[in-house]
Structure 1
Amino acid sequence: MIAAMAMLQSWGSAGTAIASFLFVWDMIRRHLPPELLRVLERWTRKLRVVFNPYVQISISEYMNRNLKPHDAYAAVEAYLSVNSVKEAKRLKAEMITGADKLVLSMDENEKVNDEFHGAKVQWISGKLEARQREHYPEVDKRYYKLIFHKKHREMITGPYLDHVVRTGKEIQTRYKKQKLYTNSHSKTTWSHIVFDHPASFEKLAMDRERKQEIVEDLITFREGREFYERIGKAWKRGYLLYGPPGTGKSTMIASMANLLNYDIYDLELTSVRDNTDLRRLLAETTSKSIIVIEDIDCSLDLTGKRKKILEKKTEGGTEKSKKEALSKDTEDGSSRVTLSGLLNFIDGLWSACSGERIIVFTTNYVHKLDPALTRRGRMDKHIELSYCSFEGFKVLARNYLGLESHPLFESIRLLMKETRITPADVAENLMPKSRKEVAERCLRNLVQTLERAKEKQRSDKGKEELEDNEPITEDKLEEKQETRNADETIELNAV
């Protein structure tokens, strides 16, 4: 009892001393000259730094003096929302753009503790009100403050922060929604929607060995950061998808994006004004994305035809008339993207920006493309998507009808050996037209379609034999091939 009374008396004495000190300090602050007071406060801060054993690191929501988001802030927020928010008493719930559920995070001025290899740290969330900011006063500035003992400085500023950012980005990737971007003619920026395509390699109508080869190539690329750094190449890979219409090129791209969890940038070349805008669009793409240019042969043909027309319009004219024609051509909305600009887009210096990316070209007629565009190093892997095989048919039968086997499978296998049909046409025949239509009826429809296609191909072959004696130029041969492919597609669709 006596000891307790003595302790209370000592606390009371200490409280009186502190109160007296604060009173005297307040009197000094009021009567000292401002210059001397500033010097005294500066020395007081230095003393606090000397005797304070803790270090602070602030991570702001925006970069200094501009409104560009700070990637590290978003990573820290994701890390704390999963790893440390369990002990916070005040939380805020937000719906992140593209997500389908609420995400919890620390409220302002909330504190949580974390531990890393025995070192204890504390995170504090805060916000500077708009009126407190000198730049961009209309925007609040949120931040996270990390506090730790100075004896752990090297471990916290190195491995721990690397761990926080890396884990936070993994969490962001896990919960993010994929996006499909496109460029418009009126703006040199990307607009996007949520990408929610159900395609996958398991459902792709292709031979199992070829699918496995492509999947392994994609996964090797995704995990090849150290390899690309070691060989001194930009972390990117080009894929050329070619084959007749309806063979699944767009479905292949969707399957690639879903396998890797990448966003897709669908680049419409005819909407890009010139090479400068093309570079700007490339610089705005993000890492972990697939840049797609579909029907690249059509885009290049459009550019080539425009150039020939422009040369005819300016032929024999003065330099002034050529500039006027070029200016009018630009005002009319025509694209001035050149093959050289496109090649630099693929593997020039600008192609190294934004990190991990895949570039995909699609074409129906690969022989039309310039060899400079398709060479290895630009389009590293060429993937032919041809007519449907029996293995591809079995995948579609399983997808559409839920069948692994059927007595009609053998007839279909024999017909497919002698007939060319695209996966799109096979799928259309397997699609039930009503709820009452059974699987056998769909298979019989496919058999009839294959038999008709076989008869037509036999008839076309007979006509070709009659025309063999006629001289055929290269242009005429190409025209015949294109007409034949178009006729086959029209006939199969009609059936």
Structure 2
Amino acid sequence: MMIGDSWAQIGSTIAGLMFTLATLQQFFPHQLRLSLQQFVLASLQQFSLVQKLCDKFVNLFSPYIPITFPEYSGYWSNQAFDAIETYVGALSTTKASLLKGSLVQNSKALVLTRDDRKVCDEFNAVQVWWVLEPSPTSSSEDKYFQLIFRRQHRDLITGSYLDHVIEQGKAIQAKNKQRRLYTNNPSENWRSYKKNLWSDIAFESPATFQTIAMDPSKKEEIINDLVSFSKGKEYYMKLGKPWKRGYLLYGPPGTGKSTMIAAMANFLNYDIYDLELTTVKTNTELRKLLAETSSKSIIVIEDIDCSLDVTGERKKGRPKSNEKETEPENEKTSKVTLSGILNFIDGTWSACGTGRIFVFTTNHIDKLDPALIRRGRMDMHIELSYCSFEAFKILAKNYLDVDSHDLFEKIGILLKETEMTPADVAENLMPKREKKDPDACLNSLIQALEDAKEKAKLKAEKEKNIKINKGKNMKFYAKRLLF
């Protein structure tokens, strides 16, 4: 019935057009007739009905079927488009005779592509064509891929071929992936939901677990946990839990918390999203930022105890109306709440991606609200403390290429008696000349440890004297009150 209706409409349109042309030829002069004919034909071509009928006519009898893959699906990036773009780029490299080379964002390899918009592919002896076009209904920056194939191969192409393309595209992306470091932009700079929420640069930190200065047994425990998580997608699905994990890194400044995050990213080949909470105004903005992070990534909030009012005990009651309440500086612009942070980590929105890792760092774990760091949110608590002798040996190997030395024993004794961060130890081991001199560097460290020991001793004596003086003063005032 649909085909019959289409033919009836086409016939009626053609008949009307022929009648108009015949009338023009009979009643108008030749020159005027030509001009009017061109005007009528041009006007008819603009009618949407004629265009739709022509499209239906072509699609009805064309032996080819097109499938369109837009760059964006609604507000969000279309992951299928990204995989197809990678696959077609690799395809162009092997089959095209005219190529162009470029360094593409998020890729650590030079990308060669065909200097043309159309690329041919073959799958199971079936030929298809990929065409890259700018989107006609969106801004000039948006684009789409169109897959064209013969009608009789529909089942093969929409089934196994597209699965093959997506799988191969993602494999190539993983192989060529350049890790990225993202930071969130202030919301007033967001031009749309799909763009400019995050800014990014190449992440090139060389940090690895082999070079991290910490106890080897603790390091092995962390590595095993990361490996178990990275391979646990099916296990999490079986449990009915989102595939995500939380790590809390705590300890004094200079103990390697940021280095640990970099080593985790390099170990798993994950991108890092460094979330600056003070620029996020509302919980809604926080959810939008989360939705725009990629799966298999690390989302970091450093110094969580300094980020907004999400730490300490929650207020048990409202202040009295006659009491003056000062508003913290960062709360004047931000309304992110502890509840918003908790939902961000462990709520419904946290399941919108897979394979994510949440990492919080703090110098003062005792200031954090217990609800924020409970198991299930921060699953693994990792203390990064002052430098131990085992950590020192790793630093000595990294900085001086020394596995053992006569001065190691003395350094080991001083490290037990003195608190010094790995960052301070590393600074003293850093060669001050072009040629490494292990003796000079180790002696420099010994001197620094002895100085730190002496300062700690003087500080302890001063605090002890203050305490004694306070006790004497209290006794003196007590006697005066009695007499």
Name the TM-score class by shorter chain: 0.7 to 0.9
Q: 1:107 to 1:72 in 2, by over 3 A?
A: farther
**Secondary structure, aligned partner of 2:125:** strand
Mapped partners of 2:185, 2:313: distance in 1: 22
Give the match for residue 122 of structure 1.
127
Cα deviation code 1:460-483 (max 9, x no counterpart): 4555666777999xxxxxxxxxxx
Stretch of structure 1 that moved more, 460-469 or 391-400? 460-469
> Which letter does structure 2 place at the counterpart of 1:33?
A
Cα deviation code 1:438-491 (max 9, x no counterpart): 22101001111222223333444555666777999xxxxxxxxxxxxxxxxxxx
Q: 2:272 aligns with which of 240, 264, 280?
A: 264
User: In the alignment, does 2:171 pair up with 1:170?
Assistant: yes
User: In the alignment, does 2:138 pair up with 1:136?
Assistant: yes
Give the match for residue 232 of structure 2.
224
Give the match for residue 75 of structure 1.
83
Say whether the 8 Å CA contact 1:240–1:361 is kept in structure 2: yes
Equivalent residues in 2 for 1:236-315 (5 A)? Answer: 236-300=244-308, 315=321
- Percent identical across equivalent pairs? 49
Equivalent residues in 2 for 1:451-462 (5 A)? Answer: 451-462=450-461
Q: 1:120 to 1:109 in 2, by over 3 A?
A: farther
Say whether the 8 Å CA contact 2:92–2:119 is kept in structure 1: no
Mapped partners of 1:152, 1:239: distance in 2: 47
- Tell me how far 1:39 sits from its aligned partner: 8.8
Q: 1:179 to 1:128 in 2, by over 3 A?
A: closer
User: In the alignment, does 2:199 pair up with 1:194?
Assistant: no
Equivalent residues in 2 for 1:177-188 (5 A)? Answer: 177-185=178-186, 186-187=188-189
> Which letter does structure 1 place at the counterpart of 2:104?
I
Give the match for residue 386 of structure 2.
387
User: In the alignment, does 2:429 pair up with 1:447?
Assistant: no
- Tell me how far 1:262 sits from its aligned partner: 1.5
Give the match for residue 356 of structure 2.
357
Cα deviation code 1:152-175 (max 9, x no counterpart): 82x543343223212212212322
- Tell me how far 1:75 sits from its aligned partner: 0.8
> Which letter does structure 2 place at the counterpart of 1:166?
E
Mapped partners of 1:465, 1:260: distance in 2: 49
Q: 1:264 to 1:137 in 2, by over 3 A?
A: closer
Mapped partners of 1:254, 1:39: distance in 2: 59
Give the match for residue 24 of structure 2.
none
Say whether the 8 Å CA contact 2:411–2:446 is kept in structure 1: yes
Say whether the 8 Å CA contact 1:127–1:140 is kept in structure 2: no
Q: 1:357 to 1:34 in 2, by over 3 A?
A: farther
Q: 1:42 to 1:398 in 2, by over 3 A?
A: closer
Q: 2:112 aligns with which of 104, 118, 129?
A: 104
Mapped partners of 2:393, 2:382: distance in 1: 21
> Which letter does structure 1 place at the counterpart of 2:67?
S
Equivalent residues in 2 for 1:346-425 (5 A)? Answer: 346-425=345-424
- Tell me how far 1:191 sits from its aligned partner: 2.1
Say whether the 8 Å CA contact 1:272–1:335 is kept in structure 2: yes
Q: Normalising by structure 1, what TM-score?
A: 0.74
Cα deviation code 1:401-446 (max 9, x no counterpart): 1112211112112222222211011001001223356221010011
Mapped partners of 2:449, 2:125: distance in 1: 71
Q: 1:148 to 1:413 in 2, by over 3 A?
A: farther
> Which letter does structure 2 place at the counterpart of 1:401?
L
Mapped partners of 2:343, 2:199: distance in 1: 23
Q: 1:97 to 1:107 in 2, by over 3 A?
A: same
Alignment coverage as a number of residue pairs: 423
> Which letter does structure 1 place at the counterpart of 2:178?
K
- Tell me how far 1:129 sits from its aligned partner: 6.4
Equivalent residues in 2 for 1:144-159 (5 A)? Answer: 144-147=146-149, 150=152, 153=155, 156-159=157-160
Say whether the 8 Å CA contact 2:310–2:337 is kept in structure 1: no
Give the match for residue 58 of structure 1.
67
Mapped partners of 2:314, 2:278: distance in 1: 11
Structure 1, unmatched stretches of 5+, are 1-27, 473-495
Mapped partners of 2:281, 2:315: distance in 1: 14
Cα deviation code 1:368-418 (max 9, x no counterpart): 111111110000000010111111111111111111221111211222222
Say whether the 8 Å CA contact 2:311–2:369 is kept in structure 1: no
- Tell me how far 1:42 sits from its aligned partner: 6.3
Say whether the 8 Å CA contact 1:84–1:113 is kept in structure 2: no
> Which letter does structure 1 place at the counterpart of 2:101?
A
Q: 1:33 to 1:137 in 2, by over 3 A?
A: farther
Mapped partners of 1:305, 1:217: distance in 2: 30
